[in-house]
Amino acid sequence: MLKIPKIIHQVYDYRDGRNIPKQLLEISSTWKMNHPDWEYNFWDHQKIDTFLKEYYPHYISHYFQYIFPVQRWDSIRYLIVFHYGGMYVDMDYESLEPIEGLLADAECFFGSEPEDHKPAGMSVYLGNSFFGSRRHHPFLQLLVNKCFESPVKTFESDKMRYVLETTGPGMVSKMYNYLADKRKIRILPAEHVAPWSLNEARLIVSGRYTSKMEEKLEKAYCVHYFFGSWLEKENVKP
């Protein structure tokens, strides 16, 4: 039985007028193709702003205090899934086959990051590019509280680490490790939802495909290409 609402959420919150790259649109379409009975919600900056004004006006100021746009993209995904339920998927995630078989009876799930991404000393490292839950799940509430009610940390120099630890997978993983009862969160193994590491994905995108990478697809329901547009150089807010 599926307890998570059949809703797919994807976010593209660039506020500079840029168009969505064709490659992302093609990858995104695989989720609609493999999940035809799921509702699909695309969130651009206008839809996000309307959502915040209607339901969470008290979070608007905090939302725009974030130093980097990617921190807004991270935080809003938790709030959307908390509010509506459903499944969030990054636009550079490709669906290979229906995911429902992995989600039976789950009330909240997160995909594991590839083993190569796991920081030293951390037994579980969860991604925030593919996750889902029922409405108002307490773990999503924790993530929302962390993102919207904690002071925005001062940025020093390491953008990647800063983002990962404030709103990204590092933050999610730490909040998960704080849970007394982890049984309420289903962790999907990386072999099913993120079989390729960042380095492998970059090799594949550049056309350097190996038999070992092909073998890693045998158990995969989806793959993440880690395009990482958020790592593009940009000005830091003063």
Best CA proximity match to 24, nearest among 89, 78, 92: 92
Of the pLDDT bands very low, low, confident and very high (cuts 50, 70, 90), residue 231 is low
For residues 195-199, average pLDDT? 86
Tens of pLDDT along 79-136? 999 999 999 999 999 999 999 999 999 999 999 998 888 887 778 899 999 999 999 9
Tens of pLDDT along 141-177? 999 999 999 988 888 778 888 999 999 999 999 999 9
Task: Say what the pLDDT of residue 237 is.
Answer: 44
Share the mean pLDDT of the chain. 90
Question: Where are the chain's structural domains?
Answer: 7-231
Percent of all residues in the chain with a pLDDT value above 70, rounded to a whole number: 95
Q: Where are the alpha helices (DSSP H) in the chain?
A: 22-34, 45-55, 60-63, 69-84, 138-149, 159-166, 169-178, 190-193, 198-205, 211-215
Looking at the domain covering 7-231, what would its CATH class be?
Answer: alpha beta
